[in-house]
Amino acid sequence: MRAMVESRTVSWDVVDAPGAIAWKLCTEGLSETIDWKKLGLDRSKYGDAGKFDCGVPTQTNSTIFAYDKDKLPNGPKTIVDLFDTKNFPGKRGLFKGFSPNLEWALVADGVPVKDVYKVLNTEVGVDRAFKKLDTIKKDVIWWTAGAQAPQLLADGQVVMTAAYHGRITNAAKESGKHFEIVWDAAQEGASWFTIPKGSPHLDDAYKLLAFTGSPEPQANLTRYIPYGPLNKDAMALLDPAVLPNVPNKPDRFAIALHPDYPFMIEKTDELRQRFTAWLAK
């Protein structure tokens, strides 16, 4: 994106940009600022995701942790249980990266979800998070690709695992296994359709963004993977069978971990280096 925009040879018209990547593109001036009047969409329908200036919100997903109910009938209920190897002995699967591990470590150590990034923005808070991660480090199997998490669970290599909620839902449906999702402090993810600065087909790009931001297309996506629609009017169009699987039901949204994207942009390199060094110890 940067190379295209800076050299004025933009060949992409629309980019599906997730989370902090979308925000970084915007802050660096690599994405078009969206003219919502030109889109013909009501920006207020998208909640906080609609406050982003450089894209149209398309879907929300979650990083959760899950377990096999057949193996753990009285399974974990909160992030605290993910760190409780006494009552839930066995290996845990975690994503091989600093987030959401540091955030979850702080929540498990008693930090309210709403205060996580305030605490993590201090040296004491970072030390506290790593100290909590130390308590389960020897019990962790690290994964790097989304497909690995449900496989680790299905194979019995872990008793619980962090995972992308869509992967767990689809794996359970396809395998018939009784995978159970724990939604406590689930890390919310969001994606926006953005337009690279200098797109040669700006009008057509706007047409695509208007389509993908509309209620019906967002509701239709849930037929294939249970990502939540971010246009509030789409929620009423969901198949009742799908509704239990989307991450942005009000009760789940209320207890979710909502990423602080400006924090992520500022701190990612620093925390990634610290995490890599910690892993190597």
Low-confidence ranges of the chain (pLDDT < 50): none
User: Which residue stretches of the chain are H helix?
Assistant: 2-7, 19-27, 36-39, 79-82, 101-108, 116-120, 123-134, 148-154, 165-175, 202-212, 215-221, 250-255, 261-280
Strands 160-164 and 92-95: parallel
Look at domain 62-187 and name its CATH class.
alpha beta
Q: CA–CA separation, 226 vs 221, rounded Å? A: 8
Q: CA–CA separation, 64 vs 277, rounded Å? A: 25
The phi-psi region of residue 216 (left if phi > 0; otherwise alpha if psi is between -120 and 50; otherwise beta) is alpha
User: In sequence order, what are the residues at sequence separation of 6 or more whose Cβ sits closer than 8 angstroms to the Cβ of residue 255?
Assistant: 113, 183, 184, 185, 186
* Intrachain domains 2-60+189-255 and 62-187 with the same fold: yes
Pair of tokens at residue 153: 């669970």
pLDDT tens per residue across span 186-226: 999 999 999 999 999 999 999 999 999 999 999 999 999 99
Q: CA–CA separation, 151 vs 259, rounded Å? A: 27
pLDDT tens per residue across span 137-163: 999 999 999 999 999 999 999 999 999
Per-position b or e across 179-197, b if 16+ CB within 10 A of its CB: bbbbbbbbbbbbbbbbbbb
Q: What is the DSSP letter of 183?
A: E
The CATH superfamily assigned to 2-60+189-255 is: Periplasmic binding protein-like II (3.40.190.10)
pLDDT computed for residue 155 by the predictor: 95
**Would you kindly state where each structural domain of the chain is located, as residue ranges?**
2-60+189-255, 62-187
pLDDT computed for residue 52 by the predictor: 95
Q: Which residue reads 């969206």 in tokens?
A: 34
pLDDT computed for residue 26 by the predictor: 97
pLDDT computed for residue 279 by the predictor: 97
User: In sequence order, what are the residues at sequence separation of 6 or more whose Cβ sits closer than 8 angstroms to the Cβ of residue 217?
Assistant: 211
Whole-structure pTM value: 0.93
Per-position b or e across 217-251, b if 16+ CB within 10 A of its CB: ebbebbeebbbbbbbbebbeebeeeeeebbbbeee
pLDDT computed for residue 255 by the predictor: 96
